[in-house]
Amino acid sequence: MARIRLEGLTKAFGPVVAVNDVNLSIEDGELLALLGPSGCGKSTILLMLAGIYRPTRGDIYFDDQRVNDVPPKGRGVGLVFQSYALYPHMTVFDNIAFPLRLRRAKREEIERRVREVARTAQIEELLARKPSQLSGGQQQRVALCRALVKEPELLLLDEPLSNLDARLRIETRTEIKRLQRELGITTILVTHDQIEALTMADRIAVMRSGVIEQLSKPQELYERPANLFVASFIGDPPMNLVRMEFRNDGGMPRLETAGLTIQLPPSARPQLERAEGREVVLGVRPEDLRFRTEPAPGLPVAQVFMLEPLGRDTLVDMRAGQQSIRALVPGSSEAKIGDTVYLQLEVEKLHVFDGVTGVRLDLGAGEQPALRVEAKGGA
Amino acid sequence: MPELAQNRPAAGLRADPRVLARERRRERALAFGVYAFLIIVSLPLVAGYGWLVLNSFSTELVHGVWPEGFTLRHWRFLWEPPSDYYPDLWRTTWNTLWLAIGMTVTMVAVATPTAYALSRMKFRGRSLFLALTLILHAFPGITLLIATYYVLRTLGLLNSIPGVFLVKAALMLPLGVWVMKGFYDAISWDVEMSALVDGASRIQTWYKVMLPQVMPGVASISIFSFIYGWSEYIYVITFIQDKNAWTLSSYINSIVGDYRFLDYGLLSATALFYIAPVLLFFFFTQKYLMRVTIGGTKGGS
């Protein structure tokens, strides 16, 4: 088991910088997810950790040993590819035994360890088959066994679930997490699927264009996204984002845009001072947005535009002025298409970002959780 | 059940025996036409081989087609040379085999690693190299005959079988390399990276993981090389005058060019003797050749 540290890690392919100055440390036994859209550099980091790619700049440390120049075979890394990358000409047994044979392990030891790991993953009865005779889920388990059989210091999983069907994905997710806990292996999971990352990881590094945008625990990522990118990337359905202007004339701090004005409590002013006179982006998660159908003076008005029943919840599309806003409400909503509704916003659930840099601006709501935003439908 | 009865005509239409019979007749007529065409087109080829067989076993062919009198006289060359002019047949056969095998081994030994490098490694001049090999392949080998003669003479490889198969292999290598490259290209990078991470060196990865997956490619270029080597004619008669180094094609060539008279019976018998091993070889190996069109990734992961 190992502690992994990346320092100023950079990888360029010609003029294209795939990974740009990444600093990251992963604790012993931790499961860290690298989450981001395709092409964000997450797989490149994985291949650098495996020793396939050599970093252009920066260092990789396993415990306190610098491994930049250590070839893949010397790193003690287990890697599971999205495509599983099984050896098609070998049986399942030979696939799993391959890393041990390369180490010239004794025949009895190979036999014992292959059976042991196959039992853990419940594929013992498949050992004599060829990969082409296995289902996707079984192939996935074989790949995992092959990575685990050498008792790696570091386990790397590259989109391990994305080739499985929905039901199998949930099962395998739990299974991998259980195995990882039991064995206590430091694990890095690369994925573009936020559910995969949120459910499995201890911490998540959200990446974009070769840079880590935010590194935090899953819950914090959801509750306090550090910038606009993370806010829009995490959450399904995505967060409502509305460009507004911060006004403070006459001692009445408020956010304004055509057709919508949101009055902030006076106490919110100091925290927003950095945004004074600037454009900001207001973010509200659909599941945090509530509305009522009885008229309530002072609340922003919206029209129900479309209803999308999702079973447990219903997604309500609304128009407020020129803004399109979505709310996720439980079960059968009373609202009907064409209804006029009144939006209820809670200050703790609002996210405000700088309109230029996209950085999160603190509303200071944490200090006054009792205060409610007074919102007003504007002209 | 009135509803069911109403539905019957539509369902019955498909099962109507008269319609089925008409359909079957039409299919049979079409098949007959196709077969008739193919038979007519391939008749000249079959006739050629048939003529060889008849000619080699009969005393005389009346009007050149009708066999009369069974004889093994023409096959005497198997145990005694037709005249003092000819070298020992078995030595000649051995030379032919040596040429075919030498050609095969050279092709496989060079094309397999070359194609791996071209498929998997980045190096300066890679695409130029690929283009050049194609040009070399498009080059008619016969135009190089005199130049290669001088080269072989300088190297002391005239009148030797290795001289012939080296030249022949050199000209066939582009094809072999391209075929093999196709097989390597079909293997995903993930598999190769996976082997590296599992602890294999680059060389181990090549022969433990990559090579077994391109075996159909190796089989196909082996078969092609063997057949080309076995039936090589122009380089053999150009580069080999020494009778001890003759192959079967020089043997037959000299029967055709015999100064006394042309013995068709002997010619047919030796020709059959020459063809038989290739036919047998092809018969047993063609199932490997069939895979070339399918590609190198059966049931890949």
Q: Any bridge partners for residue A144, and if so which?
A: none
Q: Are strands A313-320 and A351-354 parallel, antiparallel or unpaired?
A: unpaired
Nearest to A111 by CA among A102, A123, A100, A122: A100
More confidently predicted of B223 and B260: B223
The alpha carbon of residue B35 is apart from the nearest alpha carbon of chain A, in Å, by 38
DSSP state at residue A227: B
Q: What is the mean pLDDT of residues A108-116?
A: 94
How far is residue B292's CA from residue A369's CA, in Å, rounded to a whole number?
71
pLDDT tens digits, B53-86: 888 888 877 777 778 888 888 888 888 887 888 8
Q: What is the mean pLDDT of residues A309-336?
A: 85
Residues with Cβ within 8 Å of B95's Cβ and at least 6 positions away in sequence, in order, are B161, B245, B246, B247
| Confidence tier at A344 by pLDDT (50, 70, 90) | confident
Give residue A168's domain range.
Answer: 4-231
Q: Across the interface, do B199 and A150 touch by the CB < 8 Å criterion?
A: yes
The alpha carbon of residue A148 is apart from the nearest alpha carbon of chain B, in Å, by 10
Looking at the structure, do residues A10 and A138 belong to the same domain, yes or no? yes
Backbone angles phi, psi at A234, to 5 degrees: -90, 135
Look at residues B71, B106, B126 and tell me which one is the last residue of a structural domain. B71
- pLDDT for the residue numbered B5: 46
Q: What are B259's two structure tokens?
A: 């100064």
Average pLDDT of chain B is 85
Looking at the structure, do residues B111 and B186 belong to the same domain, yes or no? yes
How far is residue A301's CA from residue A376's CA, in Å, rounded to a whole number?
8
Q: Which amino acid is at A248?
A: N
Least trusted range by pLDDT, from A43-52, B32-41, B145-154, B283-292: B283-292
The alpha carbon of residue B172 is apart from the nearest alpha carbon of chain A, in Å, by 29
Q: At what angle do helices B215-230 and B89-120 cross, to 10 degrees?
A: 140
Looking at the structure, do residues B143 and B274 belong to the same domain, yes or no? yes
Give residue B112's domain range.
Answer: 78-294
| Confidence tier at B181 by pLDDT (50, 70, 90) | very high
Looking at the structure, do residues A73 and A217 belong to the same domain, yes or no? yes
Q: What are B41's two structure tokens?
A: 């087109």
- pLDDT for the residue numbered B106: 97
Q: What are A252's two structure tokens?
A: 């009445």
- pLDDT for the residue numbered A112: 95
Task: Please indicate if any CB of chain A lies within 8 Å of the CB of B200.
Answer: yes
The upper half-sphere exposure of residue A212, i.e. CA atoms within 13 Å in the direction of its Cβ, equals 21
Would you say residue B273 lies in a domain?
yes
Number of structural domains (chain A) is: 2
Q: B199: which chain A residues are within 8 Å (Cβ-Cβ)?
A: 72-73, 99, 102-103, 150
How far is residue A5's CA from residue A7's CA, in Å, rounded to a whole number?
6
Q: Across the interface, do B198 and A103 touch by the CB < 8 Å criterion?
A: no
- CATH classification at residue B261: 1.10.3720.10
User: Which residue of A83, A132, A157 to mutate against B (max B Cβ within 10 Å)?
Assistant: A83
Number of structural domains (chain B) is: 2
- CATH classification at residue A169: 3.40.50.300
Are A126 and A138 in contact by the 8 Å Cβ rule? The answer is yes
Looking at the structure, do residues B214 and B118 belong to the same domain, yes or no? yes
Looking at the structure, do residues B54 and B99 belong to the same domain, yes or no? no
DSSP state at residue A71: -
Task: Please indicate if any CB of chain A lies within 8 Å of the CB of B294.
Answer: no
Q: Any bridge partners for residue A161, and if so which?
A: none
Would you say residue B301 lies in a domain?
no
Q: Across the interface, do A88 and B190 touch by the CB < 8 Å criterion?
A: no
